Structure 1
Amino acid sequence: MIDERIVENNIFSFATNELSQDAFICWCLNWINMPVRDDNESGRQFGSQFLSRLLNGAYDVSKVNRVYIFRQLLNIDVLVLVPELQAALIIEDKTSSQEHGNQINRYKCLLSKTFGSNQYNGLDIYQHLSEEKKEKQKKHDDTACWGAVNSIRWALRDEQKELDLSKYTIHTAYLKTDWFNDDDWNTVWELEKDPKTNTYVDGPEFLSLLLSCREWNNPILMSFVDYLSSKIRATIEHSCFWEYYKDIDGHIRFYIQDTAIAQRRFLQTVFNQPNHEAPFMTDLKQHIENIDDSHVYGRIDDVSHTHTIQHGSSFGTPWSLMHFWTRSLDRTVDADYWGFQNTNEDNLTVKPYMFWRIDKIKEGPVLSLRYYTWWEKGKEDNGENNTCSYKTRVYNYINDLISSSEKISLILADINKLYGNEANKGKVWSKGKLCKQYENTLLQFKLNKILIDWNDAAKRTEFISLIRELNEELTQEIEKVEWDIVRKGVLK
């Protein structure tokens, strides 16, 4: 039996960052290196099982007796070399963050260069740099690769440089113990003909792997099991966007104000975002109470009507947005989105970048329809120059289009009727006004009353139906507009 005090005073409740999780992953794999003894057998089997999963079952690892584990070599979270298989495994480990700066492709390219192989030489990891910065970065990377190959040869006792590293095949695994957002799914699925990763493991699958060895009763393993199961339960609990608590001042505060997972689940529910079931949740139900929710850990289907949901935070408060229509962002929209300056009106975005966004205002959580653009603020004109005049024109055009649509007006009136009463005569929705800022609100729905009544099945069903009808009508109206004519000021 495990001493209950170990579980209660769990080191992983304090060691929650990615470096601590890196260490646990290394500990799991390092059991392969333990001497062949009866008291090590369970650990060695577990390490081999874990390695096999991270290599996506591509090798028979049953005879592997030695792995070399490196942390932060070439900034890779965990690098595992398996000489008996001539395989190298890059593990990109995440707790709650996501890949950034094209990390995985960069690691593959640098490791390929370190090995002197051609496996990933074709990757261009410098394409976004100027010529001057490109040369500087290449010199820096060459030095890093030289240091890395020396570290590897020293660890493998290859002082005579007899080992041919170019024969090693590089594999990549993406492991994240928190829920996967759309950026995570793009990382592991984005290029199926040339995948960025060879395999991925999410929180429920990792927990399932650990539970498969629970008879081992290793206190470190079981402490992590306890920590991870608690984390998954908390994520599921916090995804319930309609649930609320009272803050220290007695004010109602919904989970949708505090967590991105609650915001994501709201957008999925209201806008009919399809979702796979997470395959490992069924197995976990046998061992962990209150973990029954495949919706939270399932991945979004990659189908034509699925919109990307993005997440971020503003001054520590999370926000989430869903693209208003499915289309790839063209160059000028990308420039607008990332805040680069467009000085020539001929190069300005033809289609406006619009989305539904969840965040909060002083009165509580809101669902907003927003229009995003980059405002070039001059010293004298307070933003009113040739660039901003176009963007003002687009905003006003969309606002007028929404106001003049009889069908949209009826839908909005029905939403107000649904949640109006004698005590609450104010509108659930309101129109925005133009400000010289990146995001401008077109429509805004206060969610307090809507979420308080969420367990009223009839109201909930009607609200969702009305929002989907509104979204469909808006999409049809906006897509009919000839935006190049609006841009030129011909259509006003």
Structure 2
Amino acid sequence: MIKPNIFTFATKELSQDAFIFWLLDHANPKYKGVDSSIKNCALALIQRFFDLENKLMPTEIIEFELSKQVEGIDILLKINDYYIVVEDKTSSGTHGDQLKRYKDIALKKAHNVNENVLAIYFKTYDQSSYSKEIEEGFKIFSREQLISILNSYTNITSDIFNDFKEHINSIENEVNAFITKQEWNHQNWIGFFKYLQQEFGTGEWGYVSNKNGGFMGFWWCFNDIESCCYYLQLENNQLVIKLNYGNDPEKSPYRKKLNEYFQSEAVKRELHYDKLSRLGSGITATVFANRDYIIVDPKTKLIVLDETISLIGKYVQMVKEADLSFKILS
């Protein structure tokens, strides 16, 4: 049955904070008459936090203290001697040294016993890379992990719980809908790029703004040549090879040399390319392009994923095997 969902309208991080706070509070032993299924779900969530930190969760909760916005920390949960920092994010990311500060605050409260501090980066929308968060000592709790916990509880009748579960599942479904939709939105492109990250084991993605309206991009396969760098980039439906030459006039001839080289290589490898009307200027320049690399089924107009991945892989191989010696660039 289709019905209104409050989280369709309550999309801010504070609304998500409130749900997490509400759910975790069900694990508080002071509540005797709460829904046992919601309590079990809360305990399963806390257990997952301990699992991520490779620590044993106390078998009995003696002390339970749940606080919000403690010196900027979204959620701070104290269970016995343990302090759990939960930094909750939807579509935004971290900034500055906030995570390091939050962990230091918890460490101080734990009397500098690092074993008693858990730092969780709770992320319900997608992020290209978590290297910064991991480097700063946080464990990643993703939307997929949250869904696996929430979906385990099918007999809960709470509208709050079920609305949030439906909301989180709808995000996941939309991200993965690139295989069933002809026209892609922002979330669908993220789903496709996440798939590419898994297939190629590398790459980062994000929205790139420009004077033409911007695009969703995916970039990887970086290669250095002298003080320049060339790499592969997907710009929505277009596959390009970019050259970062710092807008150095002395290196501007590289644009034409790389354009000629990769077009010649594409012919040898029987790979399609589109001629560029001009070679761009600026810090980076496009030196090669295939303006429609996505292979679609002629009947359904949907992406043929395995063939598209195979085709992209051939361009990856061309870039990796490029023989750009000084003779070519002279």
Which of the five TM-score ranges fits, normalised by the shorter chain?
0.7 to 0.9
Q: CA deviation at 1:465?
A: 4.6
Contact 2:75–2:87 (8 Å) recurs in 1: yes
Superposed CA offset, 1:387-440 (max 9, x none): x2233133233224335x4x43233xx445xxxxxxxxxxx6223633332331
Q: Which of these residues, 97, 100, 110, is aligned with residue 105 of structure 1?
A: 100
Q: Which of these residues, 225, 228, 253, is aligned with residue 168 of structure 2?
A: 228
Distance in 2 separating the partners of 1:118 and 1:259: 43
The structure richer in strand per residue is: 2
The structure richer in helix per residue is: 1
Q: Which of these residues, 40, 43, 48, is aligned with residue 48 of structure 1?
A: 43
1:260 match:
189
Q: Which of these residues, 196, 204, 213, is aligned with residue 137 of structure 2?
A: 196
Helix, strand or coil: the match of 2:287?
Answer: strand
Contact 1:323–1:354 (8 Å) recurs in 2: no
Q: Report whether the alignment pairs 1:25 with 2:20.
A: yes
The code of the aligned residue for 1:447 comes to D
TM-score (norm 2): 0.81
Contact 1:30–1:69 (8 Å) recurs in 2: yes
Larger Rg: 1
Contact 2:223–2:231 (8 Å) recurs in 1: no
RMSD, matched Cα:
3.6
Contact 1:263–1:358 (8 Å) recurs in 2: no
2:209 match:
314
1:169 match:
116
Q: What are the equivalent positions in structure 2 for 1:32-431 lying under 5 Å apart?
A: 32-33=27-28, 35-56=30-51, 58-82=55-79, 84=80, 86-113=81-108, 117=112, 119=114, 169-179=116-126, 181-184=127-130, 186-187=131-132, 196-197=137-138, 199-237=139-177, 239-240=178-179, 243-244=181-182, 254-255=183-184, 259-264=188-193, 268=196, 274-275=198-199, 306-314=201-209, 317-325=214-222, 350-359=226-235, 365-375=237-247, 388-403=248-263, 405=264, 407-411=265-269, 414-416=270-272, 429-431=274-276
Superposed CA offset, 1:135-156 (max 9, x none): xxxxxxxxxxxxxxxxxxxxxx
Superposed CA offset, 1:346-373 (max 9, x none): xxx834222222225xxxx322211224
Contact 1:71–1:79 (8 Å) recurs in 2: yes
Q: CA deviation at 1:48?
A: 2.3
Distance in 2 separating the partners of 1:47 and 1:258: 29
1:356–1:257 distance in 2 versus 1, CA, 3 Å: farther
Superposed CA offset, 1:9-49 (max 9, x none): 21111112222111111111111236343445444333222
**May I ask how many residue pairs the two structures share in their alignment?**
325
1:92–1:100 distance in 2 versus 1, CA, 3 Å: same
TM-score (norm 1): 0.57
Superposed CA offset, 1:323-381 (max 9, x none): 22378xxxxxxxxxxxxxxxxxxxxx834222222225xxxx32221122433xxxxxx
Q: CA deviation at 1:113?
A: 4.8
Query: Which sections of structure 1, spanning at least 5 residues, go unmatched?
Result: 120-167, 245-253, 276-304, 328-348, 376-387, 417-427
Q: CA deviation at 1:262?
A: 4.5
Identity of aligned residues (%): 19
Distance in 2 separating the partners of 1:213 and 1:74: 34
The code of the aligned residue for 1:79 comes to L
Helix, strand or coil: the match of 1:109?
Answer: helix
Distance in 2 separating the partners of 1:173 and 1:326: 35
1:333 match:
none
Query: Which sections of structure 2, spanning at least 5 residues, go unmatched?
Result: none
The code of the aligned residue for 1:69 comes to L
1:183–1:466 distance in 2 versus 1, CA, 3 Å: closer
Q: CA deviation at 1:255?
A: 0.7
Distance in 1 separating the partners of 2:202 and 2:128: 10
Q: CA deviation at 1:91?
A: 1.1
The code of the aligned residue for 1:17 comes to K
Distance in 1 separating the partners of 2:188 and 2:244: 23
Helix, strand or coil: the match of 2:27?
Answer: helix
Distance in 2 separating the partners of 1:318 and 1:89: 38
The code of the aligned residue for 2:22 comes to W
1:40–1:118 distance in 2 versus 1, CA, 3 Å: closer
Contact 1:12–1:227 (8 Å) recurs in 2: yes
